A and B are shown apart, each in its own frame.
Chain A
Amino acid sequence: MKKTNLILASLLSCSLMLGGCAGKQTSSDSDTGKITLTFFHRWPKEPEKSYFEEVVKEFKKQHPDVDIKTEAVLNDSYKDKIKVMTGTNTPPDVYFSWSDEFARQFVRGNKALDLTSYYKKDSAWSSKLVQSQIKPYTVNKKIYGVPVTMDGKMFFYNKDIFDKLGLKAPTNWNELLNVLSVLKKKHYTALEFGSQDTWTISHYVGTLNQRMVKPDVLSKDYNSKTGTFTDKGYVKALEKLEELVPYFNKNTNSIDHEYARQQFSNGKAAMFYAETAEIKLFGPTKFKIGMFNFPKVEDGKGNATNLTGSPEGFMISSKTKHPKEAMEFLEFLTSKQMGEKLVKEVGKYSAVNDTANSSNSTPEQLEAVDNILQAKEMAPWFDMAIDARIADAYLTGAQLMLNGDKTPKEVMKDVQKAAASVRAESKK
């Protein structure tokens, strides 16, 4: 018996040691006398990966007393991991965050550092940012994040096809429907849409809500504490989306966004609603690309011209031991030099002013940047503007609506129910 025990015990410990030897210890500040910052972002793939590596390298050169440990995890897994890390008190010092609701979550849980004083103090830096991109990171008049990229969602169209049919970019909803029906009559796939992932639907719904619902009603409803979503404008917005269904490709729910984009860039579809950041992803096309903002809707009571789009950026953990250095790093990341580098190497639009020029951008990209800068107002991505539970009810309902399985009124009923339970909870 004793022998058995001994053998078992030694086997176990051997294997544990074997596994343990292969592990590594993470170094702590005291080991090296340096300050270590942890930097967590969502781009393990190129070209972003190298871009961030180089920014970090450059920063370390200029600040030899600071060491930065970078970690990058993919999009969906990023959402998981940041939650797990924040939920168990080991958050990274500097971390990526989408704006609006996603950022607000951190603020509500006291996990984000208030950066307003830095913005005021380092005005030479903060004034160079595109000011409209700071608001999405502002909560209760305090600034909690730094925008790094900006984006907008627009209709892209195949100029060659339009020219052939004598069509012009529409300026209102009726003209849009006209254009679509001409395209359909001439047997083109008028508007390509891949709605398998619900975020693609949220962009349409969000913009239509902006157009159809009065702004003050909208801001009341988007607030978790007061949202009811009973305004008829929401039903009308969904009905407008339904009006587009005959002009979409068939079976949008079976198709994902990437496949849909391929159909557009291959010339198989005439139009596509996409983010300006995707211009680079269209690749070299055999046709000229044109773009226009979501047109105003004639019977809409909402904002007729705002551009849907949000910045992406970084926040600092409220528990960080080195707020000053962390902020320095973010200011460095959003300096003019690093901004231009972003545009050139990654093809995204920096939230720093005057970084896009003809030497690092294509004419379409410059046009896109222009659109963003000209926009009198930006509207956030819909699924980032409201409570996640309401968004879920909205989008799963809308997805069924696209199949004809639910009516706009039924979808809104579900939304109202979700809003009611969110309201009840927020009162606690």
Chain B
Amino acid sequence: MQMPKTNVTLPNVVNTATKERKKKRYTGVTIVYVGLIVYFIVIAYPLLWMIISSFKSTEEIFTHSWSMPHTWLIENYVTAWKSGISSYFLNSVIVTGASCFLTVLVSALGAYGLSRFEFQGKAFVLIICLGGLMLSPQVSLIPLYSIIQKLGIYNTHLALILPYVAYRIPLTILLIRAYFLSIPKELEEAARLDGCTSLGILFRIFIPMSTPILLTTTILTAYYTWNEFMFAIIFIDDDSLRTIPAGLMQFRDALQTDWGVLLAGLTISAAPIVMLFLFMQKYFIRGIANGSVK
């Protein structure tokens, strides 16, 4: 007697259960989306504020901080570009470009050594590589200044490039190493069987496979060197060699700051990095890294 009943009731139970689960999933997803959008607003609103304020006069920023500009001062951008950025743009590009290239290259080599080889003192070496993370650059200002003077590179682009690379290596090595560690050994063994040298494996397999992390580290190095201020001011005297952050300083002073123009300058300055980041996005497509053993 019960059997037929069970047969009849079972599908209903299953249906309700599935419906319950589906409802839960939709509510779950909605909550998540709401969370993402709230977080989005928390991040985007201040950034929007920055852009809107860059069209205001200093006075308006102080008195009407949260409303739309009374008049859209495009002159802010013109002024910022003409006196703050244009002459310094090329210098920033050179310094940032060279720093990124060197940092990623040197770090990739080092990360390879650290992740794919067994040798004595590996842990010790790892700690040494982390050295740059362990202090604020401000601390090294005076010793570095002497070193740079002694090396004869003071007041040249190298005075910035070399320290930047040195201070970005720790983070970059850590990241690339973490990524390399997750690349399956089978790939290497297969290449070795094909007669590849270790260097060949690095350049023909690891590097192409690591595009996401290499691009990430490039961006991270780029944003640091592009915005770095302290070394840029102290290690370079010649106005013609200065980078953008030093150039933008023209709009600040203890008693008075041209905030509108400064914000315009900083927006212009942020643009190339943002564009670089957007360009990088397409390399984050899933599946590039997987499936290459086949």
Question: Are chains A and B touching directly in their complex (CB below 8 angstroms)?
Answer: yes
CB A279 to nearest CB in B, in angstroms, measures: 11
Tell which of B25-33, B167-175, B233-241, B273-281 binds the partner. Answer: B233-241
Task: Determine if B239 and A71 form an interchain contact, defined as CB atoms under 8 angstroms apart.
Answer: yes
Residue count of chain B within 8 Å CB distance of chain A: 44
Indicate whether A77 sits within 8 Å of B255 (C-beta atoms), given known contacts A71-B239, A87-B142: no
B86 close to chain A: CB less than 8 A: no
Contacting residues, chain A, for B198 (C-beta < 8 A): 4
Residue with the greatest number of chain B CB neighbours at <10 A, chosen from A4, A22, A87: A22
B181 close to chain A: CB less than 8 A: no
* Contact residue among A16, A44, A90, A283 (Cβ-Cβ distance under 8 Å from B158): A16
A74 to B94, CA, bound (A): 24
Task: Determine if B157 and A23 form an interchain contact, defined as CB atoms under 8 angstroms apart.
Answer: yes
B20 close to chain A: CB less than 8 A: no
* Contact residue among B109, B249, B257 (Cβ-Cβ distance under 8 Å from A258): B257
Task: Determine if B142 and A281 form an interchain contact, defined as CB atoms under 8 angstroms apart.
Answer: no
Question: Contact string, A8-22, partner B, CB cutoff 8 A, digits 1/0?
Answer: 100100011011101
Tell which of B70-78, B98-106, B117-125 binds the partner. Answer: B98-106
Contacting residues, chain A, for B59 (C-beta < 8 A): 262, 266, 283
B145 close to chain A: CB less than 8 A: yes
Question: Contact string, B35-62, partner A, CB cutoff 8 A, digits 1/0?
Answer: 0000000000000000000000001001
Task: Determine if A74 and B105 form an interchain contact, defined as CB atoms under 8 angstroms apart.
Answer: no
Query: Which residues in chain A, 143-177, are within 8 Å of chain B measured between CB atoms?
Result: none
A44 to B249, CA, bound (A): 7
Task: Determine if A4 and B197 form an interchain contact, defined as CB atoms under 8 angstroms apart.
Answer: yes
Task: Determine if A23 and B255 form an interchain contact, defined as CB atoms under 8 angstroms apart.
Answer: no
Contacting residues, chain A, for B241 (C-beta < 8 A): 23-24
A76 close to chain B: CB less than 8 A: yes
Question: A interface, by DSSP: helix, strand, loop or mixed?
Answer: helix
Question: Contact string, A229-259, partner B, CB cutoff 8 A, digits 1/0?
Answer: 0000000000000000000000000000111
Interface residues of B (CB under 8 A from A): 59, 62-63, 83, 94, 98, 101-102, 105, 109, 141-142, 145-146, 149, 153, 155-159, 161-162, 197-199, 230, 233-234, 237-241, 249-258
| 8 pairs of A and B residues whose beta carbons are closest in the complex | A23-B156, A262-B62, A75-B254, A22-B157, A74-B249, A45-B250, A44-B250, A19-B161
Q: List 27 A-B contacts (CB under 8 A).
A: A15-B98, A15-B102, A15-B105, A18-B98, A19-B94, A19-B98, A19-B157, A19-B158, A19-B162, A20-B153, A22-B157, A23-B158, A24-B240, A45-B251, A45-B258, A46-B83, A46-B250, A73-B249, A74-B253, A76-B254, A77-B233, A77-B234, A81-B234, A84-B145, A84-B234, A88-B146, A262-B59
Q: Known pairs A4-B199, A18-B98, A19-B98. 19 more at Cβ < 8 A?
A: A3-B199, A15-B98, A19-B161, A22-B94, A22-B98, A23-B158, A23-B159, A24-B241, A45-B250, A71-B238, A75-B253, A84-B142, A88-B142, A88-B145, A90-B149, A257-B255, A258-B255, A262-B59, A262-B62
